[in-house]
Amino acid sequence: MSSSGHRQATTDELVERLYTKLGHHESLSLTDHLGAGQLLCRLRDRLVAGDRPSPPAAIKLLASGSALHRRSSVGEDNHEVQWETQGLVRASAARIFALLSAMELARRLHQDLDVDSRRVVESVSKTDLWSQIRDSPSRRKKQRTDASEYDTETAEVEEEAEVEVDAVEDGWAAVLRVSSGEVARHCIRIGAACLDDDSWAGLDGLVSLFFRHSALNMQESLLMPDGDSDFVSLSTSTTLQNLSPELRAKKLLGVAQAGESEAGQQVVRDLMLSFLLPAGHVGVRRTLLLTRAASTHAAVDFPDLVARSHDVAMAGTAWIYEHGTDQLERLCALLAGVAVLTTRGNDDPIRKADAFCGRVALPCFETRPPDPSALRIVLIPHRRRWILFRLDKKGRPKVALSQRGFRGLCDALLCLVASL
C-alpha cells in the first residue's frame, strides 16, 4: 500500500497496461507513447526492487517490444513514421529489451555466460539465406548436359522420387541450422552480459535482431503446432490434384512470365542477392528492392554475386524458369512474377510499396500485414518450409499448406495466385 492508501499495481498489471498501449497495429499517439514510457520506468523500479513478472506477463512484455520494433520498421498504417517519432519508438523498444536483459541477468546471476552466444549471433549476420534452405548436395540431382532435354517439371518429380536421402548428412545439417528461438535466446544472454559489465552500447546492435527473431519464433510456434511435418488441407489438396502436369507447368510458367518487365528484372536481381548475400549485408527492408547502401556494399564486396544476379535478370524470368537448371534462379523467377502481381497501391510500387503487399514473408522483409482473410506465404528458413495460411475471424492462423523445398513453394504460389 502507498502512503495515500491506494494499492500499488503489481508487475503483471503494469505489463498488462503496457501491452494495452503498445501491443496493437493501430496508430500510436504521442500521449499513449508517453504513458508507455512512464509504465516502463515503473516496471524498471519494480524489477530493481526484486519483483519479477509471471511467464505470461513476460511474453506480453516481449510482444510489446516486438510491436514497437515492427512499428519502427514499417511505419504506421497509410503513412510513414516521421524520423523524430521513429527514433522515439526505436528507443522505447531498446528500453524493453534492456528490461528483458535485466530479467535474464537476474536469472543467470550465479551462472556463467554461455561463451558460444556471441559466436552464434555473429554467425547469423554472415550466413546467407540460400545456404539455409537449399537441399544438401547428396539430395540435389546433377544438372543435365543438354538443356533442351531438361524437363523441369519431370526433374522435380524425379528428384523427390529417385534421389536417395543421406540420412546422416541431413541429420547433421538439421542440427547445425540455428532456429529463430535460439538466436533470440543468445541475444538476450549477450544483453544480460552487457548490463553486467556496463557495456550499454552493446545493446543497440542486439535490439532489432532479438525482436525480429522472437517474432519469427512465435510465428513458427503458431504455424507449426505439430512440429516439422507436411500438411495440406482438403480444399488445397483438391485444388492441386485437379491440375494436370501440363496445366500445372503452364500456370507456373505464367507466374514467371508476370515478371517479364523492367520492374521484374530489378526485382529478380535483388531477390537473387537477398538469398545469396550474407544476412548482415542484406539487412531488413520494407520494399522489394535492396537499399542503396546494401547495393553499394554488394558491388564492392561481392562483385561475382552481383554479376550473376544481373545475368539472371537479363535472361528474363520466363526463360530462367522454363530453361534454367539452377533451383535458386528458378525460385527467384517465380517470386519475381508473384511480386509484380501482388505489389500494388503506390505510384511506384516496386520501389515504394510493401513487398508483395505483405502476402509473402521472407527474413529480409518487414512489411505491414495484408487483409486478415488474404492467403499469405511465410518461409521458415531453418526448417526449409513454406507455409500457406490465412487468419480466421478470431485472428488465429489457419494453415492451408505446409511443405518443404522447391515443390512446396510452387504449390503454395499456385494457390496464392489463384486467390488473387
- Give every CB contact of residue 358 below 8 A, 6+ residues apart in sequence: 367, 368, 369, 370, 376
Is 400 contained in some domain?
yes
Is 121 contained in some domain?
no
Is 119 contained in some domain?
no
Query: Are 35 and 162 in a shared domain?
Result: no
Q: Region 312-319: what's the mean pLDDT?
A: 94
The answer, yes or no, to whether residue 1 has pLDDT greater than 80, is: no
The widest CA-to-CA distance across the chain, in whole angstroms, is 86
Q: 16-26 pLDDT, tens per residue?
A: 988 888 877 77
d(CA 397, CA 17): 26
3-class SS at 377? strand
Query: Are 59 and 163 in a shared domain?
Result: no
The answer, yes or no, to whether residue 251 has pLDDT greater than 60, is: yes
Name the pTM for this structure.
0.77
Is 26 contained in some domain?
yes
Q: 337-366 pLDDT, tens per residue?
A: 999 999 987 788 888 899 999 999 998 898
Place of cell 547428396: 138
Which stretches of 138-244 are DSSP H helices? 152-162, 167-176, 180-196, 201-223, 234-241
- Give every CB contact of residue 188 below 8 A, 6+ residues apart in sequence: 100, 101, 104, 210
Q: Region 287-302: what's the mean pLDDT?
A: 91
The answer, yes or no, to whether residue 172 has pLDDT greater than 70, is: no
Q: Which residues lie across from 388 on neighbouring strands?
A: 377, 401
Query: Are 106 and 238 in a shared domain?
Result: no
% residues pLDDT > 90 (the chain): 28
Query: Are 265 and 385 in a shared domain?
Result: yes
Go through the chain and tell me how many residues it has.
Answer: 420
What value does the mean pLDDT of the chain take? Answer: 80
Tell me the residue range of the domain where 152 lies. 131-176
Query: Are 209 and 238 in a shared domain?
Result: no
Q: 382-411 pLDDT, tens per residue?
A: 888 999 999 988 888 999 999 998 999 999
According to the model, what pLDDT value does residue 170 have?
45
Is 72 contained in some domain?
yes
Please count the structural domains in the chain.
3
% residues pLDDT > 70 (the chain): 81
